[in-house]
């Protein structure tokens, strides 16, 4: 005779089988090599309800950082089983399984003890998977940065070598053209032509100097300077042009001086170049925001605009010499590579975030020196 106890055992066995199948399905999802966090938690959320006592009524939700995926049947009710993911920041989150309020008419305590253990187990597995994905993403990002830095270093050496080779013949052309231009017997038409030669040679010399700066080969003066003072002076020079072009300039400087060891002319060049690029990205006006602040052992300079923004393809190439999106005659494609060389040669870093139609934000960091009261100050 089939007893009540046997029925109960059969039911318990079926529930254990469902839970094991759920764990197996989740483990199979976790083994997908190329799945991102969003895809992963979406698939796991869909795999959870079949493992519970009332799968047709159960709903699941998984949150990891800012990502959240839930099934169509998930509702916020008093019938909620939760487990917290072990992690912090972008890896923090939780796994929730819920039943709608109507489940009380069938079972006032719908969750089994083993189901609580199931949710805890899955939360642990999701935590490990998210940590692996975050680590892999960070490794890929660092590898790309290293490859990019290596490419720039190689291009810098090549550019500096070319610049040195061009320097001597260029100086000869410029010198003789200037001598010819001083001749009193030179016809006016020829004088105009010689003037064009001089102008072209001077322009070429500026390009050569930019190449040398990109390759870290140009001679520089070094002193201890306050970034706030240098940036403020450069903005004073740029603000009249910004007003003419309908661009609002917002300043937000550190209350205390930010001392760094650098050539003030180079820091001014970094700010002016970034600001001019920002202005050109706002042909119909906008807002240019320049801020300085201490950031740990670094000085942070931020230049942000509300311009047209850049695509991912452009962002990947902006520090490569001679790459430009500007019209012919409006740029040489050396501005950003040069300031990249300046920043890196000073032990700093430069990064950019951009979104099409929203704008761009450049973040420049330089090693921060102690304040004059506690250590080294301006000389």
Are residues 128 and 12 both part of a single domain? yes
Lowest-pLDDT choice from 78-82, 228-232, 358-362: 78-82
**Domain closes at, from 172, 188, 214:** 214
Question: Same domain for 244 and 354?
Answer: yes
Whether residue 23 is contained in a domain is answered as: yes
What is the reported pLDDT for 158?
A: 67
**Which domain-ending residue is among 113, 139, 165?**
139
- Residues 112, 163, single domain; the answer is no
Instruction: Report the CATH number that the domain containing residue 205 is assigned in CATH.
Output: 1.10.287.130
Q: Which of 56, 73, 70, 72 is nearest to 18 (CA)?
A: 56
Write down the pTM of the prediction.
0.48
**373 within domain boundaries:** no
- Domain boundary pick from 185, 214, 243: 214
Residue 372 is assigned to a structural domain of this protein = no
Say whether both 162 and 180 belong to one domain.
yes
Q: Mark whether 340 and 238 lie in a shared domain.
A: yes
Same domain as 195, residue 230 = no
Question: How many residues does the structure list for the chain?
Answer: 379
Asked if pLDDT for residue 333 goes beyond 70, the answer is: no
pLDDT at 373 (0 to 100): 43
Q: How far is CA 334 from CA 42, 203, 209, 347, in A?
A: 45, 13, 10, 20
In angstroms, the CA 40 to CA 26 distance is 9
Work out the mean pLDDT of the chain and round it to a whole number: 83
Phi/psi at 247 (nearest 5 deg)?
Answer: -110, 125
103 and 155 part of one domain:
no
At 135, list the tokens.
């680590």
Q: Residue 66: which CATH number?
A: 3.30.450.40
Residue 175 in any domain: the answer is yes
Classify residue 375: in a domain, yes or no.
Answer: no
Per the structure, the complete domain to which residue 311 belongs is given by 223-367
Q: How confident is the model at residue 379 (pLDDT cuts 50, 70, 90)?
A: very low
189 and 273 share a domain? no
In whole angstroms, give the CA distance from residue 230 to residue 216: 21
* Cα 16 to Cα 13: distance, rounded to the nearest angstrom: 5
CB-based contact 365:348 (threshold 8 Å) = yes
Is 156 domain-assigned?
A: yes
Pairing, β 349-355 against β 359-367: antiparallel
Q: Is position 376 within any domain? A: no
**Which residues make Cβ contacts (< 8 Å) with residue 352, sequence separation at least 6?**
310, 315, 318, 360, 361, 362, 363
Residue 254, pLDDT score: 93
Give the residue-averaged pLDDT of 189-195.
87
Q: Are residues 116 and 236 in the same domain?
A: no
291 with 339, same domain? Answer: yes
Is the pLDDT at 344 greater than 90, yes or no? no
Give yes or no: residues 128 and 152 share one domain.
Answer: no
Q: Are residues 128 and 251 in the same domain?
A: no
Residue at 153 is within a domain: yes
pLDDT band with cut points at 50, 70 and 90 for residue 311: confident
Number of domains in the chain: 3
């Amino acid at each position: 005779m089939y007893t009540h106890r046997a029925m109960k055992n059969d039911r318990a066995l079926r529930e254990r089988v469902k839970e094991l199948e759920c764990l197996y399905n989740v483990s199979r999802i976790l083994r997908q090599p190329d799945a991102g966090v969003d895809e992963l938690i979406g698939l796991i959320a869909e795999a959870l309800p079949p493992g519970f006592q009332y799968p047709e009524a159960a709903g699941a939700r998984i949150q990891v950082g800012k990502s959240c995926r839930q099934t169509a049947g998930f509702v916020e009710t008093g019938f909620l089983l939760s487990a917290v993911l072990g992690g912090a920041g972008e890896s923090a989150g939780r796994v929730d399984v819920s039943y709608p309020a109507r489940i009380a008419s069938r079972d006032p305590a719908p969750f089994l003890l083993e189901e609580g253990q199931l949710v805890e187990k899955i939360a642990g597995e999701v935590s490990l998977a998210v940590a692996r994905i975050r680590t892999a993403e960070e490794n890929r990002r660092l590898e790309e940065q290293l490859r990019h830095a290596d490419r720039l270093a190689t291009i810098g050496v090549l550019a500096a070598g070319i610049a040195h080779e061009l320097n001597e013949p260029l100086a000869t052309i410029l010198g003789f053209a200037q001598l010819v231009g001083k001749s009193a017997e030179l016809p006016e038409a020829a004088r105009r032509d010689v003037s064009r030669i001089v102008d072209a040679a001077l322009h070429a010399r500026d390009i050569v100097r930019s190449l040398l700066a990109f390759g870290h080969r140009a001679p520089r003066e070094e002193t201890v300077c306050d970034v706030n003072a240098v940036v403020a002076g450069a903005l004073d020079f740029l603000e009249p042009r910004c007003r003419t072009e309908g661009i609002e300039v917002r300043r937000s400087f550190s209350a205390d001086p930010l001392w760094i060891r650098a050539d003030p002319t180079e820091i001014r060049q970094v700010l002016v170049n970034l600001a001019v690029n920002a202005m050109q990205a706002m042909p119909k006006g906008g807002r240019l925001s320049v801020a300085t602040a201490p950031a740990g052992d670094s000085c942070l300079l931020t230049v942000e605009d509300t311009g047209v923004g850049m695509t991912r393809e452009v962002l990947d190439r902006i520090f490569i010499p001679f790459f430009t999106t500007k019209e012919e005659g409006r740029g040489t494609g050396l501005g950003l590579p040069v300031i990249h060389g300046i920043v890196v040669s000073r032990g700093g870093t430069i990064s950019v975030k951009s979104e099409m139609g929203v704008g761009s934000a450049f973040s420049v960091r330089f090693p921060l020196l102690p304040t004059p009261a506690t250590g080294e100050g301006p000389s």
